[in-house]
Amino acid sequence: MKKVIIALLLCFPLFALAEDKITSLEGFDEPQWKDFAPVAYRDVKEPKGFAKFNDVAAYWYKRRVSFENGIEDCRKLQNDDEKFSCYQDLKVKQYQKNSDYNARLEAVERSKMYPQEMQDNTTNMYPIGGILNNFSKFQPNELNY
């Protein structure tokens, strides 16, 4: 539900801008990669060598390649209305991918702040506490000397 609301909130300003640009379609601008990527990944290249192990750089490289392919597909359209709607769809998809990416980052950060061991009440973090708990379960006549 959250994603739908976010997508709608992102689309409404685009529709407002679309009304102004429909009158002059020959002057509309293509979306730029720099508008969607973090500053560190605006000029990301294909990861090679040890950089292949950098999952974040590989993610942003794949996104950049798919974005550029989308731009090329939109450029191939002859009708200005179709081209404009293609660019708008591309923008909405990129904004949605950014919000999904940010949600994943927040989830990872939350899991780092509260590790599973701290959330689970059945485990005991202190080994001495576990020994004492087990020791108290024995009755005095069960101890072997």
Q: What is the reported pLDDT for 16?
A: 56
Handedness of CA 62, 63, 68, 74 (dihedral sign): positive
Q: How far apart are CA 32 and CA 56, in angstroms?
A: 20
Q: What is the reported pLDDT for 23?
A: 38
Say if pTM beats, i.e. exceeds, 0.85: no
- Structure tokens given for 52: 């292949």
CB-neighbour burial class of residue 36 (10 A; exposed 0-12, middle 13-18, buried 19+): buried
**Domain spans of the chain?**
2-142
CB-neighbour burial class of residue 23 (10 A; exposed 0-12, middle 13-18, buried 19+): exposed
Low pLDDT (below 50) residues in the chain = 20-25, 145
